A and B are shown apart, each in its own frame.
Chain A
């Protein structure tokens, strides 16, 4: 059991545990916080895989910007544990069961893979910002530019939707 394996297991447990806490906590604010923990765990995974750029971007963009936005909206609506609506018991059960079955089916499908495919951990160039940047600005420059247009349209859209007419 190398250090990477232990780290992997710890991070995985953290991620799954926080995800479960996220979906089951009554207060929306708590759910947001738990999701942030999940994101940190995933970033940890990224670092373990030596995808440094993505790890940092994940934290900055997701945990930093997107989750903060969520938190703003939750605070704006003053949501807390008492006002939280709860779904019918039977429907929740059905939901959990279907999700569980989905998981089982997919894992069962996955188990059919016979060949062991190892993953390069902790090393490798592919995650370095230099390599990524190079790929981004040569092969994928068009999507990069268009993504700026995407942001523009999202911004305009958000402003228009939110206008008080």
Chain B
């Protein structure tokens, strides 16, 4: 498999996530699209790690190719933490305005 295929796949998933953020008004769905974006990136990172695993440098250093996967691991860590805090905020928002519509979040106006 060529790396280009993975790049295209990852980009597609990423832009679908972007479109999701732009198109939807529900805060939770938007949050989920952000997760989708993160995952697309994760996929790409893993693909790159395997790409580097093919290179000569990997023969010398066994852990050479796994740096990217460790990075993916930490991305997941951060995503989990972020989800918990983010959902707490969304629940707070729901408690105040009884809706998760982002159009009601216009305190930044003017």
Q: Which residues of A contact B (CB under 8 A)?
A: 4-5, 8, 12, 15-16, 19-20, 22-23, 28, 31-32, 35, 38-39, 42, 45-46, 49-51, 53-54, 57-58, 61-62, 65-66, 69-70, 73-74, 76-77, 79, 84-87, 91-92, 94-96, 98-100, 102-103, 106-107, 110, 113, 116-121, 124-127, 131-132, 134-136, 139-140, 143, 147, 150-151, 153-155, 157-159, 161-162, 164
How many A-B residue pairs have C-beta atoms within 8 angstroms? Tell me.
241
**Inter-subunit contact B1/A121 (CB<8 Å):** yes
Q: Mark B10-45, 1 if CB is under 8 A from A, else 0.
A: 011101111110111110110111011001001100
Dominant secondary structure at the B interface: helix
A58 and B49 alpha carbons, distance in the complex (Å):
17
**Inter-subunit contact B3/A117 (CB<8 Å):** yes
Known: A51-B49, A53-B69. A110 touches B7 (CB 8 A): yes
A62 and B32 alpha carbons, distance in the complex (Å):
11
Interface size for chain B: under 10, 10 to 19, 20 to 34, or 35 or more residues?
35 or more
A20 and B65 alpha carbons, distance in the complex (Å):
32
**Residue in B closest to A154 when the chains form the complex, CB atoms:** B81
**Residue in A closest to B84 when the chains form the complex, CB atoms:** A158
Complex contacts, B3 vs chain A, CB 8 Å:
117-119
Known: A42-B42, A45-B43, A132-B73. A16 touches B16 (CB 8 A): yes
A100 and B14 alpha carbons, distance in the complex (Å):
11
B57 interface hit (Cβ, 8 Å): no
Complex contacts, B54 vs chain A, CB 8 Å:
117-120
**Inter-subunit contact B92/A161 (CB<8 Å):** yes
Nearest 5 pairs between A and B by C-beta? A95-B22, A99-B19, A154-B81, A23-B20, A126-B65
Known: A16-B16, A117-B2, A135-B63. 18 other contacts (CB 8 A): A8-B5, A45-B43, A46-B46, A58-B39, A73-B91, A77-B100, A92-B22, A103-B15, A110-B7, A117-B4, A119-B1, A119-B47, A124-B50, A126-B63, A139-B63, A140-B70, A140-B74, A151-B77
**Inter-subunit contact B76/A61 (CB<8 Å):** yes
A86 and B103 alpha carbons, distance in the complex (Å):
10
Complex contacts, B26 vs chain A, CB 8 Å:
28, 79, 84-85
**Inter-subunit contact B81/A28 (CB<8 Å):** no
**Inter-subunit contact A126/B49 (CB<8 Å):** yes
